[in-house]
Amino acid sequence: MIIQPRTRGFICLTAHPDGAHQAVKNQIEYVKSKGEIKNGPKKVLVIGASTGFGLSSRIAAAFGSDASTIGVFFEKPASEGKMGTAGWYNSAAFEKEAHAAGLYAKSINGDAFSDEVKKETIELIKKDLGQVDLVVYSLASPRRTHPKTGVAYASVLKPIGQPFTNKTVDFHTGVVSDITINPVENDEDIANTIAVMGGEDWKFWIEDLKAAGVLAEGVKTVAYSYIGPELTFPIYRNGTIGQAKNDLEATVPVLNDLLKDLNGKSYVSVNKALVTQSSSAIPVVPLYISLLYKVMKAKGTHEGTIEQMQRLFADRLYTENGEVALDEAGRIRVDDWEMADDVQAEVAKLWDETTTENLSEISDIEGYRKEFFNLFGFELDGIDYEKDANENVQVPSIE
């Protein structure tokens, strides 16, 4: 079938298998161009492996240090006459490329929050890898069913305390407008968001993996966080999602205790703001990202998810002397180039000036839009979108 983008708000309902394959190949080429990640991971479990930072983590590990990878994700499979989701096609492409390179790669499609998927993953590790030496936790989800209580939690993206008014952009139309987001009405919204995006599920994973004996001596685990500029604090870091990130970050010492007898370590890496399926859903943030891209591209410091994850592995997690540089709060920072004073000063200045009329001139809204479509396999160079695509592309390891 011929597959074209079809959007509803910040969601793209369609995905292109050949474009997704091309995007994965581009990421692989980037990692190869940077050379071997010395002392890199060898047996890796990536939870949230099909898109965004998780997919790039998987690619960086596999093609940067020849790692065997198991990827866990929640995607809609493709079938005859029915399109799969972008993450499905990404994972199909990743496995195909990994297998062609002689690398072990298998995937599990299901709810990572469930005990069942944890069990299935542990069985697969036992059968094929014995143990893993890196666990990447990169889930982003609007909801979670708690595995012990069955309670279904939904996260919200809201400020806490006061309403928040600021600029936002509709990146399809380029219209800049003011948006007011009302604060949470009760503490339950905060607790629910923490239950979905906080650290409890990461802890459950590490507890189960450890109890099953599938974590190697010296194992590392990393989860991803975000801080960003003051102008997004009310909706991000000081909002409901920020409380969940605080909880995630507070899980690090808990996991360090748990991993002590294995000489294992847990980390949170604060990553850069980037266009992903998750970040496009947050108000205000897409306008910030399109200004940030403009400034960072001009300075030559712009990175995408693959550049970020390659740098995380090569320069932070797996260094020559084994030391991992942390900030005063104990976090890895690969948002360092985003948060540089000169970058932030320029973004803040542009932020005040931005209008619908000057948007395409002073921001990289076009780059934002293109990257958004790239996430779904569209607008990739070298793909003929007028040609029939084979929608029925499968992830080789999944029956």
- What is the number of other CB atoms lying within 10 angstroms of the CB of residue 323? 8
106 or 294: whose CB is closer to Na ion?
Answer: 106
Assess 120 for contact with ligand NAD (CB under 6 A).
no
Minimum CB separation of residue 305 from ligand NAD in Å reads 7
Q: Which of 221, 279, 290, 397 binds ligand NAD (CB under 6 A)?
A: 279
Owner of token pair 């012990």: 148
Q: Which of 70, 112, 259, 317 binds ligand NAD (CB under 6 A)?
A: 112
50 or 374: whose CB is closer to ligand NAD?
Answer: 50
121 or 216: whose CB is closer to ligand NAD?
Answer: 121
CA distance readout (Å), 232 to 174, 186, 223, 235, 287: 19, 21, 21, 6, 10
Handedness of CA 108, 83, 146, 137 (dihedral sign): positive
Answer for the pair 270, 199: CB distance below 8 angstroms, yes or no.
no
Binding site for Na ion (CB under 5 A): 48, 52-54, 138
Q: What letter represents residue 198's amino acid? A: G
Residue 40 contact among ligand NAD, Na ion, none, beta carbon within 5 to 8 Å by kind? none
Q: Of all residues in this chain, which one has the CB nearest to ligand NAD in the complex?
A: 52
Assess 378 for contact with ligand NAD (CB under 6 A).
no
121 or 131: whose CB is closer to ligand NAD?
Answer: 121
Half-sphere exposure of 257 (CA within 13 A, CB side): 6
Contact region with ligand NAD (CB under 6 A), list: 45-53, 346-354, 356-364, 387-395: 45-53
Owner of token pair 């309670």: 151
Assess 224 for contact with ligand NAD (CB under 6 A).
yes
Strand 68-73, strand 105-109: pairing: parallel
Per annotation, catalytic residue among 30, 236, 267, 318: 236
Minimum CB separation of residue 223 from Na ion in Å reads 11
Assess 368 for contact with ligand NAD (CB under 6 A).
no
Write the interaction track for ligand NAD spanning residues 132-151; mark x where CB under 6 A is met and - where it is not: ------xxxx----------
Q: What is the CA radius of gyration of the chain?
A: 20
Contact region with ligand NAD (CB under 6 A), list: 121-129, 276-284, 294-302, 317-325: 276-284
39 or 146: whose CB is closer to ligand NAD?
Answer: 146
Name beta bridge partners: 11.
8
Copy the structure tokens of residue 86: 């972008």
Q: How many residues bind ligand NAD (CB under 6 A)?
A: 29
Maximal CA-CA distance, the chain: 59
Burial 337-349 (b: 16+ CB within 10 A, else e): bbeeeebbebbee
Minimum CB separation of residue 53 from Na ion in Å reads 5
Q: Which of 69, 155, 251, 277 binds ligand NAD (CB under 6 A)?
A: 277
Show Cβ contacts of residue 306 under 8 Å, excluding neighbours closer than 6 positions. Answer: 26, 27, 30, 31, 56, 59, 60
Minimum CB separation of residue 338 from ligand NAD in Å reads 9
Owner of token pair 């390891």: 397
Q: Which of 63, 74, 368, 378 binds ligand NAD (CB under 6 A)?
A: 74
Q: For this structure, is 30 an active site residue?
A: no
Assess 22 for contact with ligand NAD (CB under 6 A).
no
68 or 138: whose CB is closer to ligand NAD?
Answer: 138
Show Cβ contacts of residue 71 under 8 Å, excluding neighbours closer than 6 positions. Answer: 46, 49, 50, 54, 58, 91, 94, 105, 106, 107, 108
Minimum CB separation of residue 206 from ligand NAD in Å reads 16
**Which residues are annotated as catalytic?**
236
